[in-house]
Structure 1
């Protein structure tokens, strides 16, 4: 096997991705597929940390739009990410991958509190660390969490797993003729409003020179391909 291009990565999984083909909930088949792919990446000698969303269970923005207090809705979304993180931890450990969940909101009975030095130590010992409960603050997305944690643990790249092949100039579901970008700068992402990640997360990645690879999670082996530097999806950097 060739040497991986990246030695330490943050994998960003949307909550919707964990639902598989369902509208909500958690697909065990999808969890097992992700766990198998992460196991392959670990076997290649790559450090892995994971940030997972909660949109398959609850979306704070949606709750706010229906009249709920925004902060309350966002805290509920953070709790949804903890549920997803525990499910993912279970799937990974069933594949023999040593895993720790760290939460930005303390809940010691089920997970460790997030401590930067401790998370780095886990990663150095070969464990996968799953960062749950976002940043612990309302009004911040899990995209921002991924950018923040990647900077904190000195990851070389963020792997953003989606349900589509990459970044398009319009919604590929509604527009079959949508054009996929092979490479973009963060300035282009911000100026064109492409919706790869929110502006706070994109700015954080740009300021810390952390590249982003957007790819299709549903194609088996894509996580390993991204780590090895294969040309898949859309590369966002510069």
Structure 2
């Protein structure tokens, strides 16, 4: 009898390229509105165009890049787009924080504290890139700590949309300080398993961001908030 065929576990080239592209997007290697040309990317990463094409297709499905007749490009994130996502987070983040406060494991609480310490250290060194990376890891840990799969799916998609904008936002020391203030309150509340304070910290942070970038501070209640778009104000 012939010996059975064996499946060899290995990382597909497409998956490696996908991870590298995603990491470079998060780290600001590409700029908003930039076209992502397969031939140029293939030369940059030292691979053929096929894994590049497959990775770009996956990134487009996830909403990290846009697909048009002219090919793939980074979204030219507008001020309105940013505020629209903040409006969604204003609704979701309090629920996510409350779930994390009630359901986070001891290991996840430790991990949240470690990522927050990473944010503090990066801010002290003026390292915007390191700060952004630690903030992203804290956010991912928070999403997992909620142990609510439906909520996690939505929050992961939304987090992906912030990857590029976050790099720009955290170049400003004041924005990093604001994140530290409210993420500190959030982490403390989760450590204490206080869902009310965790939810308040998460929502108040979004209110402060809206106040800073939107110009119309929403009432700190559970009422939904809708930004007035720039085109509507003309």
Q: TM-score scaled by structure 1?
A: 0.29
Q: TM-score scaled by structure 2?
A: 0.29
The structure with more helix, counted as a fraction of residues: 2
Larger CA Rg, structure 1 vs 2: 2
